[in-house]
Structure 1
Amino acid sequence: MSPLALPRRRRNERETPSDVPALDPPITVGRWDVSWTLPAALLLLIVVADWRAPEHMRIVTWIGLVPAFAAGMCGVWTTAVFAVVCLGTVIGLEQSLDHRYPMGGSEFLLVVTACVLSVLASALRLRANRQVRRLEDAAQATRLAVLRPIPPRIGGVRTANVYLAAERAAKVGGDFFDVQPTPFGPRVLLGDVQGKGTSAVDAAAALLSAFREAAYYEADLAVVAERLEHRVRRQNQYVSLLGEAGERFATAVLVGLPAEDTGWLEIVNFGHEAPYVITDERVWALPEGEGAPLGLTELTGRLPPVRRVGFPAEATLLLYTDGVSEARDRSGAFLPLAEELERASDTSPRGVVDLVENAVLRHTRGRLTDDTAVLAVCRDPDPPPGGLALD
């Protein structure tokens, strides 16, 4: 994984709150915590400098920087130890050196104050980190409740996915995706609810629950699309009864793969980015979303049509949200996704998702401006028996 991706979990693995990296991880070498080495080195440098400095220079007054550095890198007890050592060092140097310019009482009081404040700052830093960590755990639990983990092999397809959160302390947003095995073949949904916050998450959860039921029981993909549209409208009506302002809509892509490989798939695009099909020979985009987003089809008077497009048996289908298509570098240039895909050496779902993830993080230098969801699927040439799920 790219170092820029460290704050964010990837792959098809279930991420529990305890899996989330610490906000302020210690500096380690192997299994050893070496965060204390920088304050210790600074302390040694100040002592040596004061020992060798001319009599009119008192470098030791800078020793208050040592516990300040420790407060930003170490725990409370380690910071307290550095504070005590620094005070002892000051007293020891004053007694060992016959200075013409001894440290005054105000200077010593300044060092004492710096040591005490550093210990307090360390305690406050750790307390704030614990608070943010609890918020991260709650947000992560919410995301897992909405975006359930997708097995790498399910319902006759192989899958891979990644969710990159733009705001590290709030790992929930309106991006959603799922793969549902059905008697009619696997069906895939990916989309993005307009807006942020818990109301966007609530709308995404409503859409996913409707998809999981309708996709399994409805043979016609157009009926599944209609159920999704009705679910968004009902959700908006419910929210309005609660007195919350603003209706939600969602761009989305709904895909159905026949149970038997027929060389094609069905797709309904609700104003979303065009998915890509990737093979070892070429890369091409499926039709753009000419329909209105979910929740706004009343404006056009009809649902987007179900289109049948070619999909070779060896191909991988890539779906993504606007965190990919609108990823910009420092100059404002968009990510050339098609060019990145054309350079893919591994066209499996895992390889494609890894490529897109690394391309987005490299292009934006890890500064994501929007949540990013990426999902790739391909037909499983040797599906395991009994892979049909009922939920």
Structure 2
Amino acid sequence: MGARNQRVVGLRQPWQSSHVLLLIPVALIVVITVSDIVTPADIVLGPMLVIAPALTAWFAGPWMTSGIGALTVMVQGFVGWRDGRLLSRNVLVEMAALAVLSTVVVSFCVARDRHRRQLARVRTVAEAAQHVLLWPLPTRLGPLQLACLYLAAEEEAEIGGDLYAAARTDGAARVMIGDVRGKGLPAVGEAALLLGAFREAAHQHASLPQLAAALERSIARYLADFEHDGETGERFVTAFLLEIPDDEPVIRITSCGHPAPLLFGPDNGVTVPSLSPAPPLGVGLTDPDDHDLDVLPFGPGDTLLLYTDGVIEARDRHGAFYPFAERVAQWTDHNPEALLHKIQRDLIDYTGGGLADDVALIAIRRTLIPRPGHDLGHAVHPRRVPPPLRVIDPSRPPAGS
């Protein structure tokens, strides 16, 4: 089915559903009218007809609501004519009251639809701005397969203070994930600043420590202009910078106060690497020597899972933290997109849909892509390969399951 046909179907479905629901007020009018006719003369049910237009306004627009309102007035007149009381004061007052109340209901319906259109336009603009700010990552970046996921804690929002970005440099891919302290528009502003600075600086600096120092200088300039007096030292960003060369089975990492990622090896084990993190961005460390560089093995078939602390700080209704590492140990054989889909469903089920903080996730898998003159499987002696902090056995049942 083409896109045009899909749009036509999408437009028809609300129209068809509203016309099916229209049977409810029509049936209500018939029941009230018949009951008014068969009941004794001292029992008057005609004023109850106003329920029909009020009910119609719940699912239909002003035109359909006004039509039902006019029908109730005509039905009330028919009942009065049948009883020979059409020109009596009671019947005329009842018809006038139905007309006035139907008009009020239609006016509320018009105002509601106008507000809906305004809200739809505002949401469209907000979504466009958010998509411009937080670009979706490509599914392929050289020999890497990527997938990303963002869950905003605030309703009607798609982004907040969490961020991620990727850039393709000569013979390597660079990726950043970060978390701005705070929430709301100030956090979004800092996230926008850092994303723009990364997209520009990722191509200008040879090493990750130099890149981290450049991002620190950008944050420092921003805070100098926009930080309030009472917030000195309270605004910062935890960030995780990584570089994955095409022709070396390693990954280079510079951590600025961000949680360590999870690494899935060929044996489907989950490893939490031991890193040497520097303080977060925004504390004034503008010298590249202030930022360490960690190098880890990352061969074909390995998967790296980056995340923000909204995942590990999520709680269930009893207050228990989400056992992130134990949960993902069940899905280490999944591709990046399927892995994030599993995590999303499991996290929402665990928390009941209520997140206290934004969640950002990036899954990166190295795939074996033959390149002329390159051997992705050759032995590499990285400068430093830290021992793992802990290894989680995927065969062990996850906590809370």
TM-score by length of 1: 0.78
Shift of 1:232: 0.9
Given that 1:182 and 1:216 are in contact with CA atoms closer than 8 Å, whether structure 2 keeps it comes out as yes
Q: Which residue of 2 aligns with 1:43?
A: 26
Given that 1:152 and 1:158 are in contact with CA atoms closer than 8 Å, whether structure 2 keeps it comes out as yes
Deviates more, 1:284-293 or 1:144-153: 284-293
Q: Return the letter of the residue paired with 1:131.
A: Q
Given that 1:135 and 1:169 are in contact with CA atoms closer than 8 Å, whether structure 2 keeps it comes out as no
Given that 2:136 and 2:148 are in contact with CA atoms closer than 8 Å, whether structure 1 keeps it comes out as no
Q: Which residue of 1 aligns with 2:350?
A: 363
Q: Distance in 1 between matches of 2:338 and 2:282?
A: 34
Given that 2:32 and 2:48 are in contact with CA atoms closer than 8 Å, whether structure 1 keeps it comes out as no
1:98-149 per-position Cα deviation (integer Å, ceiling 9, x unaligned): 89xx966665555334312221121111211122222212222221222123
Q: Distance in 2 between matches of 1:50 and 1:98?
A: 16
Q: Distance in 1 between matches of 2:10 and 2:103?
A: 24
Q: Distance in 1 between matches of 2:353 and 2:151?
A: 10
1:143-188 per-position Cα deviation (integer Å, ceiling 9, x unaligned): 1222123221123311111223333434342221111111251111
Q: Distance in 2 between matches of 1:27 and 1:65?
A: 30
Matched, 1:307 2:294: yes
Q: Distance in 2 between matches of 1:290 and 1:81?
A: 68
Q: Distance in 1 between matches of 2:117 and 2:276?
A: 44
Matched, 1:260 2:247: yes
Matched, 1:62 2:48: yes
Deviates more, 1:149-158 or 1:54-63: 54-63
1:230-254 per-position Cα deviation (integer Å, ceiling 9, x unaligned): 21111111325xx797463111211
The partner residue of 1:128 within 104, 115, 122 is 115
The partner residue of 2:262 within 272, 276, 296 is 276
Given that 1:75 and 1:126 are in contact with CA atoms closer than 8 Å, whether structure 2 keeps it comes out as yes
**2:169 partner SS:** coil
**1:329 partner SS:** coil
Structure number with bigger Rg: 2
Matched, 1:327 2:314: yes
Q: Distance in 1 between matches of 2:29 and 2:273?
A: 65
Q: Which residue of 1 aligns with 2:62?
A: 76
1:280-338 per-position Cα deviation (integer Å, ceiling 9, x unaligned): 62223334785422112559x98453222333421222222233233333333333322
Matches within 5 A, 1:191-340: 191-240=178-227, 246=231, 248-262=235-249, 264-279=250-265, 281-287=268-274, 290-296=277-283, 303-340=290-327
Given that 1:158 and 1:349 are in contact with CA atoms closer than 8 Å, whether structure 2 keeps it comes out as yes
Shift of 1:34: 1.0
Given that 2:268 and 2:333 are in contact with CA atoms closer than 8 Å, whether structure 1 keeps it comes out as no
Q: Return the letter of the residue paired with 2:74.
A: G
Gaps of 5+ in 1: 1-25, 386-391
**1:227 partner SS:** helix
Given that 2:70 and 2:99 are in contact with CA atoms closer than 8 Å, whether structure 1 keeps it comes out as no
Q: Which residue of 2 aligns with 1:176?
A: 163
Q: Distance in 2 between matches of 1:98 and 1:325?
A: 75
Q: Distance in 2 between matches of 1:165 and 1:130?
A: 24
Q: Distance in 1 between matches of 2:83 and 2:316?
A: 57
1:346-373 per-position Cα deviation (integer Å, ceiling 9, x unaligned): 5211111211222233233333443332
- CA, structure 1 residues 87+384, in 2 after alignment: closer, same or farther (shift >3 Å)? farther
Q: Distance in 2 between matches of 1:142 and 1:185?
A: 29
Q: Distance in 1 between matches of 2:144 and 2:190?
A: 27
Q: Distance in 1 between matches of 2:30 and 2:106?
A: 21
Shift of 1:69: 2.7
Matches within 5 A, 1:13-32: none
Q: Distance in 2 between matches of 1:272 and 1:354?
A: 23
Q: Distance in 2 between matches of 1:61 and 1:334?
A: 57
- CA, structure 1 residues 298+178, in 2 after alignment: closer, same or farther (shift >3 Å)? closer
Q: Distance in 2 between matches of 1:136 and 1:59?
A: 44
The number of aligned residues is 355
**1:181 partner SS:** strand
Q: Distance in 2 between matches of 1:27 and 1:89?
A: 35
Q: Distance in 2 between matches of 1:230 and 1:246?
A: 18
- CA, structure 1 residues 129+48, in 2 after alignment: closer, same or farther (shift >3 Å)? same
- CA, structure 1 residues 41+289, in 2 after alignment: closer, same or farther (shift >3 Å)? farther
Matched, 1:86 2:72: yes
C-alpha RMSD of the superposition: 3.5
Matched, 1:349 2:332: no
Q: Which residue of 2 aligns with 1:137?
A: 124
Given that 1:206 and 1:232 are in contact with CA atoms closer than 8 Å, whether structure 2 keeps it comes out as yes
User: Percent identity among equivalent residues?
Assistant: 32
Q: Distance in 1 between matches of 2:127 and 2:76?
A: 47
Q: Return the letter of the residue paired with 1:44.
A: A
Deviates more, 1:376-385 or 1:203-212: 376-385
- CA, structure 1 residues 115+346, in 2 after alignment: closer, same or farther (shift >3 Å)? farther
Q: Distance in 1 between matches of 2:332 and 2:56?
A: 46
Given that 1:27 and 1:33 are in contact with CA atoms closer than 8 Å, whether structure 2 keeps it comes out as no
Given that 1:297 and 1:303 are in contact with CA atoms closer than 8 Å, whether structure 2 keeps it comes out as no
**1:186 partner SS:** strand
Q: Which residue of 2 aligns with 1:7?
A: none
TM-score by length of 2: 0.76
Q: Distance in 2 between matches of 1:89 and 1:289?
A: 80
**2:107 partner SS:** helix
Q: Distance in 1 between matches of 2:247 and 2:189?
A: 35
Q: Which residue of 1 aligns with 2:381?
A: none
Q: Distance in 1 between matches of 2:194 and 2:155?
A: 24
